[in-house]
């Protein structure tokens, strides 16, 4: 249940958000561990968010 009543998210939305969060965490860990530079980190984050937005619009 959301803050203002029932959540409008369905199971598929929750699954996609969990998957996206996992991918973001992986990119953040790679940056934190020094496996990528700032430019690569920024591009990876932008790619993840835009691909998620495109999927969500469908």
- Closest alpha carbon to 17 in 58, 48, 40: 48
Query: Residue 52 and residue 21: Cα distance in Å, rounded?
Result: 11
**Proportion of the chain above pLDDT 70, given as a percent:** 83
pLDDT at residue 37 tops 80: yes
- Closest alpha carbon to 55 in 4, 27, 7, 17: 17
No. of helices (H) and no. of strands (E), the chain: 2, 0
pLDDT in tens, 1-29: 456 655 666 788 888 889 999 999 999 99
């Amino acid at each position: 249940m959301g803050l203002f009543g029932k959540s409008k998210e369905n199971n598929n939305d929750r699954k996609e958000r969990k998957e996206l969060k996992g991918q973001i965490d992986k990119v953040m860990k790679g940056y934190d561990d020094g496996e990528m530079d700032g430019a690569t980190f920024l591009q990876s984050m932008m790619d993840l968010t835009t691909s998620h937005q495109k999927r969500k619009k469908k």
